[in-house]
Structure 1
Amino acid sequence: MTPTEFIEKLHARDVALLGGRLLLSLIFVHEGLQLATHFEGAEKAMAALGIGAPLLVATIALQLGAGLSVALGILARLGAVGLGLFCLMTASLFHTNFASQNELLHFEKDLAIAGGMFILALSGSGRFSLNRALGRFVKSRAGEGAKVEAIEPHPSVGETSLPV
């Protein structure tokens, strides 16, 4: 058995995708919950930055909705693109005072998270995801002979892998 065959048998790629999805989504789900549970304080803090309540509600919805979609692996590509764009906007709008080491760190962190999200959007959620489970369920309900495509193809299908 070659090393590549051994890794494929362990589903290491899918385990790494699951771990990466969970780690990437944690910050968004946590922050969305914090903003939602401390809405009045968040509203005051956002108002000081010139952000009104409607945008705060949209931010909470994006962080919770897309964060959970990435974590659970349902429409994870869409959630990852949304969160990646959110990180780019956050970095360019709120963390541009590079004289402050803290602001520079937040800018770089947002860029790094955006990069991870865009990579996730390209690779898909992998075998250990609700997309995959729902696809199997729909296929089993349709019967053996029915042709039903998975909700999101497995990353090894098609041309989703990057040349190395």
Structure 2
Amino acid sequence: MTNSISITADRPLDTTTGAVVPFVGRSLLASIFILSGVAKLGDPAGTIGYIAATGLPLPELGFVLAVAVEVIGGLLLVLGYRTRLVAAGLAAFSIATAVFFHSALGDQNQFIHFFKNLAMAGGLLQVVAFGAGRFSLDARR
């Protein structure tokens, strides 16, 4: 008998692994939002200037909303509170930021950021589809 993890399409993960994996996945997805939001707080003028440079209206309000979505949404995702709704909001935010801030696909850096944001949205949509898992506040309600 071995303690190795076997992942196949026709058999679910064991109980412990199946409970831990969604928590780890949510935490990894949330980390980029939390770190990005905190970084924005470190340079509000730079972030507001970047938002203004895209031509979006009310860059100061955009800054406040972006920080709130990233930090609060990221923390709620880690905690697994109203997870499907939070993940849907973060997915929409990821797609919007890809379109408004990273659509210069001729620039390799922007190309990478654009598709990174779409990939994050894809991962978040998996959370929307399958929920938070056992290690979450949602599971306790």
- For 2:115 and 2:46, the matched residues in 1 are separated by 26
Residue of structure 2 in register with 1:141 after alignment? none
- For 2:66 and 2:103, the matched residues in 1 are separated by 20
Query: What amino acid does structure 1 have at the position aligned with 2:53?
Result: A
Give 4+ residue runs of structure 1 displaced > 3 Å after superposition.
none
Shift of 1:50: 2.6
In structure 1, the gaps of 5 or more residues are: 136-164
TM-score (norm 1): 0.72
Shift of 1:12: 1.4
Residue of structure 1 in register with 2:92 after alignment? 85
SS at match of 1:29: helix
Count matched residues.
Answer: 131
Query: What amino acid does structure 2 have at the position aligned with 1:59?
Result: A
Which sits farther off after the overlay, 88-97 or 104-113? Answer: 88-97
Query: What amino acid does structure 1 have at the position aligned with 2:89?
Result: G
In structure 2, the gaps of 5 or more residues are: 1-5
Residue of structure 2 in register with 1:151 after alignment? none
Matches within 5 A, 1:1-150: 4=11, 7-9=13-15, 11-51=16-56, 52-133=59-140, 135=141
Shift of 1:126: 0.6
Shift of 1:94: 2.1
C-alpha spacing 1:91/1:118, structure 2 compared with 1 (3 Å): same
TM-score (norm 2): 0.83
Greater gyration radius: 1
- For 2:54 and 2:100, the matched residues in 1 are separated by 10
Aligned alpha-carbon RMSD (Å): 1.9
For residues 121-161 of structure 1, give each alpha carbon's deviation from its aligned partner in whole angstroms, at most 9, with x where no partner exists.
1111111112223x2xxxxxxxxxxxxxxxxxxxxxxxxxx
Return the structure number with greater relative CO, CA threshold 8 A, min gap 6. 2
Shift of 1:8: 2.9
- For 2:21 and 2:51, the matched residues in 1 are separated by 36
- For 2:48 and 2:99, the matched residues in 1 are separated by 21
